[in-house]
Amino acid sequence: MLEHVLNLGNQLKTDLKTSEGFTSVNYERILIVGMGGSGIAGDVLKLILNQHTNIDVEVSKTYNLSKTQIATRPFCLFISYSGNTEETISVAKDAIDENLEWAVISSGGELLELATKYNKKFVKVPDRLQPRAAFGLMTKAVINFLPNQNKEIFINACEEAGNYLNNLIGDVSNEVFEISKNIAGQIGTKTAVIYAGSDLTYLAAQRWKTQINENSKSKAFVGFMPEVHHNEILSWEADQEGSKNNFSLILLRGDDHKKIDNRFEFTKELIGSKVDTIDVRNISSGNLIIDLFHLVLIGDLVSINLADHLNIDPFNIDVIEILKKKLKG
Structural domains in the chain plus CATH codes? 2-166 (3.40.50.10490), 172-309 (3.40.50.10490)
Q: How many CB atoms are located within 10 Å of the residue 226 CB?
A: 15
Residue ranges of the chain with per-residue pLDDT less than 50: none
Residue 329 has a pLDDT of 67
Residue 243 has a pLDDT of 81
H or E segment and range at residue 56:
strand 56-60
> Ramachandran region of residue 243, left (φ > 0), alpha (ψ -120 to 50) or beta?
alpha
Phi and psi for 29 in degrees, rounded to 5? -140, 150
Enter the pTM of the model: 0.94
Residue 245 has a pLDDT of 87
Amino acid at 23: T
Residue 180 has a pLDDT of 96
For residues 292 and 206, the answer to whether their CB atoms sit within 8 Å is no
Angle among Cα 32, 48, 232 to the nearest 5 degrees reads 80
For residues 152 and 26, the answer to whether their CB atoms sit within 8 Å is no
Q: How far apart are CA 115 and CA 135, in angstroms?
A: 22
Residue 237 has a pLDDT of 82
Residue 328 has a pLDDT of 73
In DSSP terms, 276 is beta-bridged to 248
Phi and psi for 191 in degrees, rounded to 5? -90, 130
Residue 135 has a pLDDT of 96
Residue 46 has a pLDDT of 97
H or E segment and range at residue 278:
strand 276-281
